């Protein structure tokens, strides 16, 4: 399904809606970080925990405890891990490590993380043969930093419980926790939206995992491997658009953790993106048996049903996703609900139900979506419903967010003209024409001008009282187009 700005002038820069979980490539955001999204809500008083400097909003803080010694030669691996992290070259300035000199009360760790903004806590112990690390991960209340406009990646993110990983490393090798070191840095890069560095760090973390893992530790380590592979799949697919590679990562993630809903959603998204929607559908239906209240599954099913032309089924799935999310109040759930409303609005628009489309776009906006895609779609739908004031407001904001896009500039000018603001419309058309003339490719320029021309003709049929101004603008476009 293509992300359509609902105007002919959008013809050149239509972006693909990243599929709920990327089914149109995008709702991935909503779902995939299931392995990493953990909102902590416990209400304990961290009275027995050492005082730490709270994390600033722009920091990614990792706290490491001094490891407990239970036999063998004494060697504080916790301090060594912190020192190795601090000594790494190229680590971003927002990454900070702190040290606990003693192991805290485990029951209080989640509460401390919630109230201090700490993202990861590492505690551990060791004996003469093995090192055990327990890693608490708390994801933020919103998505990783996005480059460009978020078009629904939220479907890839699950609001799961706080995640705890139990990791193993053998003694007797140099830097036994090096794989953990690179994973911690990779997590920081990932959540800041630096996907290139995140991928490099996470791949290295995979390569450094111990080659021999005792049988009694394999299940825990498999869950960790599944989480790392899932994150690499998210980077490969939703972020980099390499869905074949993403499919490989998600398949491997599910192989290591067959119960992982994020891995299943990622794999289904990859299957859909690589021409196997029926396989994706089967996987989603199977997942519903064990996760009947997972809104992400219903959203993904809605996207596939739209692709198949089964619109009644698609609407049922959209409605179910809305119902499941409406009772949830976390920030990321509200972001998810905004995405679902946006996509259901697009569904209504495709069906010609403009009033419900506009209502859903406004719901998405009220929940915090104010990106150019939402605003452009909202503006165009309002225009078709002859709500010109709303149309101008939305399209003007969309154009301001995308100052380099001629289609947005032409839309704004057209809607101003429809609203009767002829002088500002003339100025806006002049600006849009100038922007289009800055495009080197002749065919691309002509396509933008042609789309604007057709929109003006359609407006003249609706508003013959504007004929003289429309003729004036069309002449201006003809001259510019040569």
pLDDT tens by residue, 316-374: 999 999 999 998 877 778 888 999 999 999 999 999 999 999 999 999 999 999 999 99
Q: Does 153 score more than 90 pLDDT?
A: no
pLDDT tens by residue, 161-214: 568 999 999 998 888 999 999 999 999 999 888 999 999 999 999 999 999 999
Instruction: Give the model's pLDDT for residue 101.
Output: 78
DSSP per position, 253-317: HHHH-TT-HHHHHHHHHHHHHTT-HHHHHHHHHHHHHH-TT-HHHHHHHHHHHHHHT-HHHHHHH
Where is pLDDT greater, at 407 or 162? 407
Instruction: Give the model's pLDDT for residue 106.
Output: 77
Q: Does 401 score more than 70 pLDDT?
A: yes
Instruction: Give the model's pLDDT for residue 460.
Output: 95
Closest to 432 (Cα-Cα) out of 461, 404, 410: 410
Residue 308: band (very low, low, confident or very high) from pLDDT cuts 50, 70, 90: confident
62 backbone dihedrals φ, ψ, rounded to 5° = -115, 125
Average pLDDT over residues 451-462: 95
Where is pLDDT greater, at 26 or 440? 440
Instruction: Give the model's pLDDT for residue 423.
Output: 95
pLDDT tens by residue, 43-70: 333 334 456 678 888 889 999 998 988 8
Q: Does 41 score more than 60 pLDDT?
A: no
CA distances from 388 to 60, 252, 377 (A): 45, 51, 14
Angle at 371 between CA 23 and CA 424, to 5 degrees: 135
Q: Does 136 score more than 60 pLDDT?
A: yes
Instruction: Give the model's pLDDT for residue 249.
Output: 97
Average pLDDT over residues 285-312: 92
Instruction: Give the model's pLDDT for residue 121.
Output: 93
Average pLDDT over residues 400-421: 96
Helix H or strand E segment including 96:
strand 95-100
Q: Does 160 score more than 50 pLDDT?
A: no
Instruction: Give the model's pLDDT for residue 317.
Output: 96
CA distances from 139 to 50, 163, 187 (A): 22, 9, 10
Residue 144: band (very low, low, confident or very high) from pLDDT cuts 50, 70, 90: low
Distance of alpha carbon 130 from alpha carbon 51, whole angstroms: 30
Instruction: Give the model's pLDDT for residue 363.
Output: 97
**Assessment of whether the complete model's pTM goes beyond 0.85:** no
Query: Whats the size of the chain, residue-wise?
Result: 482
The fraction of the chain above a pLDDT of 70, given in percent, is: 84
Instruction: Give the model's pLDDT for residue 108.
Output: 81
Tell me if 291 sits within 8 A of 261, measured CB to CB: yes
Distance of alpha carbon 353 from alpha carbon 141, whole angstroms: 34
Average pLDDT over residues 390-397: 97
Instruction: Give the model's pLDDT for residue 374.
Output: 95
47 backbone dihedrals φ, ψ, rounded to 5° = -75, -25
Q: Does 26 score more than 70 pLDDT?
A: no
Residue 283: band (very low, low, confident or very high) from pLDDT cuts 50, 70, 90: very high
Average pLDDT over residues 425-436: 96
Distance of alpha carbon 91 from alpha carbon 75, whole angstroms: 25
Q: Does 392 score more than 50 pLDDT?
A: yes
In 10 A of CB 407, how many CB atoms?
27
Distance of alpha carbon 80 from alpha carbon 96, whole angstroms: 15
Helix ranges restricted to H, 327-466: 331-350, 354-366, 372-384, 388-401, 406-418, 422-437, 442-462
Instruction: Give the model's pLDDT for residue 307.
Output: 86
Q: Does 38 score more than 80 pLDDT?
A: no
Instruction: Give the model's pLDDT for residue 163.
Output: 85
Distance of alpha carbon 93 from alpha carbon 90, whole angstroms: 9
The fraction of the chain above a pLDDT of 90, given in percent, is: 65
């Amino acid at each position: 399904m293509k992300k359509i700005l609902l105007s002919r002038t959008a013809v050149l820069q239509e972006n693909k809606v990243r599929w709920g979980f990327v089914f149109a490539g995008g709702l991935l955001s909503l779902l995939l970080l299931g392995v990493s999204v953990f909102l902590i809500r416990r209400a304990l008083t961290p009275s027995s925990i050492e005082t730490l400097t709270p994390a600033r909003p722009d920091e990614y803080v990792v706290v490491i405890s001094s490891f407990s010694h239970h036999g063998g030669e004494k060697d504080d691996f916790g301090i060594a891990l912190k020192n190795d992290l601090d000594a790494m070259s190229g680590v971003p300035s927002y990454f900070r490590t702190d040290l606990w000199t003693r192991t805290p009360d485990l029951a209080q760790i989640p509460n401390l993380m919630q109230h201090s903004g700490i993202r990861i806590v590492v505690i551990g112990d060791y004996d003469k043969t093995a090192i055990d690390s327990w890693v608490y991960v708390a994801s933020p209340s919103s998505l990783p930093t996005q480059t460009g406009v978020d078009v629904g990646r939220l479907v890839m993110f699950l609001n799961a419980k706080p995640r705890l990983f139990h990791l193993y490393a053998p003694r007797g090798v140099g830097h036994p926790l090096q794989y953990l070191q690179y994973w911690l840095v990779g997590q920081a890069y990932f959540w800041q939206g630096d996907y290139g560095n995140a991928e490099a760090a996470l791949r290295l973390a995979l390569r450094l995992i111990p080659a021999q893992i005792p049988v009694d530790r394999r299940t825990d380590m498999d869950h960790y491997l599944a989480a790392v592979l899932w994150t690499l799949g998210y980077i490969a697919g939703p972020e980099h658009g390499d869905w074949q590679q993403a499919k490989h990562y998600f398949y491997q993630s599910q192989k290591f953790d067959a119960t992982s809903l994020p891995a299943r959603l990622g794999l289904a998204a990859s299957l859909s993106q690589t021409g196997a929607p029926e396989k994706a559908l089967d996987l989603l239906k199977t997942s519903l048996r064990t996760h009947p209240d997972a809104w992400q599954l219903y959203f993904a099913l809605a996207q596939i049903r739209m692709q198949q032309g089964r619109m009644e089924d698609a609407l049922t799935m959209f409605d179910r996703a809305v119902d499941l999310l409406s009772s949830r109040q976390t920030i990321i759930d509200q972001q998810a609900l905004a995405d679902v409303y946006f996509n259901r609005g697009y569904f209504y628009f495709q069906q010609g139900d403009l009033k419900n489309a506009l209502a859903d776009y406004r719901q998405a906006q009220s929940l915090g979506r104010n990106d150019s895609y939402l605003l452009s779609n909202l503006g165009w739908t309002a225009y078709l419903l002859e709500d010109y004031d709303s149309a101008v407001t939305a399209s003007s904001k969309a154009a301001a967010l995308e100052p380099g896009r001629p289609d947005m500039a032409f839309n704004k000018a057209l809607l101003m003209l429809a609203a009767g603001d002829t002088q500002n419309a003339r100025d806006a058309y002049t600006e849009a024409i100038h922007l289009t003339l800055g495009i080197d490719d002749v065919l691309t320029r002509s396509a933008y001008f042609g789309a604007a021309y057709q929109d003006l003709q359609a407006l003249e049929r609706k508003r013959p009282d504007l004929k003289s101004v429309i003729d004036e603008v069309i002449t201006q476009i003809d001259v510019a187009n040569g």
